[in-house]
Amino acid sequence: MAGGGEGRAPKRRGLPSGIKNKVKRGEVHARVQQEKKKEKKQRVLKRKKEEEAAVALGEAPPPKKIPRTIEGTREVDDTLVRPDDQELQAEEAQDEFSGHFARAVAPKVLVTTCRRPSKGLLRFVAELLGLLPGAHFYKRADYAVKQMVQYATARGFTALLVLHENRKRPNGLLLVSLPAGPTAHFRLSSLKLRADIPGAGRPTRHIPELILNNFSTRLGLRVGRQLASLFPQAPQFRGRRVVTFHNQRDYIFVRHHRYIFEERGGRKGGADPGAPVLARLQECGPRFTLKLLSLQKGTFDSKAGEYEWAHKSDMDTSRRRFFL
């Protein structure tokens, strides 16, 4: 096969990757990147001039381009819901959390841990008690989860939170809504306590505002309502506390902030009365991420429980397939 160079891959001309010399390839790559950066800057300046010209003429500026993201190109899901879905509204009016959202039942949460928790897990519990109004901590001792469910139900608790850890690092959260369920099991990751967050503030005891963002499927709305049932439906705005559950690509990011309104230049004194009012955020902690593993009907039952949804490895067929 020596004749004519048959069987060889064609050379890619015009691309830095086709240059064999390492130094020359680096120089060409840097020049190509510089040209792309220059072209992008020119496009931005041109668009800015077009917008300014349109505003000066009293016309509408050209529409902004929508970036192409994984969320924007997600696979079509039959369980996506609309805000005006009357069937869904009728179901929510009769589900396990209807009494909470009707303000007929006040949330009362029992927080416990795995057996023999570490000091790190107990520090997380202490900050979680500051995050959840009306939360109470009880030592697990040697009681099983079913026994804890019976104990909490008999004493009027509306939810049971069980925190798990592996090698002294929190890695799981079990949320049991009482008295009739459901039971959600989450994987917990990316935990940062208040001491690990730069400039973190200490929260007050006011009831926080609650933000649930991007729960767009039937399963997502159900999980969102279960998380919302942990908080009273009467926020005290004077405390300026906000707890956020932000769902992105089926990861639920939990954040706890305080906000403050101030005039521009207010920190240095002598603020201009006509200056615009700005809002600043201060994170209070804890900060962590949840990933739903399963949702079980009723209270916790590891043997005979019926699952509404459970994650399996064969469900991850695409990066653009989401369930919440």
Q: Which residues contact 321 (CB under 8 A, 6 or more apart)?
A: 74, 75, 77, 315
Helix, strand, coil tally for the chain in percent (to 5): 30, 25, 45
pLDDT of residue 87: 85
Position 246 confidence tier, pLDDT thresholds 50, 70, 90: very high
pLDDT tens readout for residues 257-310: 999 887 766 554 555 666 778 888 999 989 999 999 999 999 998 888 899 999
pLDDT tens-digit readout, 191-214? 999 999 998 988 889 999 999 999
Q: 231: which residues sit within 8 A by CB, 6+ positions away?
A: 107, 132, 133, 207, 208, 210, 243
Tell me how far apart the alpha carbons of residues 174 and 164 are, in angstroms, rounded to a whole number: 8
Give me the pLDDT at residue 230, please: 95
pLDDT value, residue 319: 85
Per residue in 31-64, pLDDT (tens digit) is 999 999 999 999 889 888 888 888 888 888 878 7
Cβ atoms 157, 130 nearer than 8 A: no
Q: Write down the pLDDT at residue 318.
A: 84
Q: pTM for this one?
A: 0.80
Lowest mean pLDDT among 14-18, 70-74, 106-110: 14-18
HSE toward the beta carbon, residue 60, CA cutoff 13 A: 3
Q: DSSP of 146-171, one letter per residue?
A: HHHHHHHHHTT-SEEEEEEEETTEEE
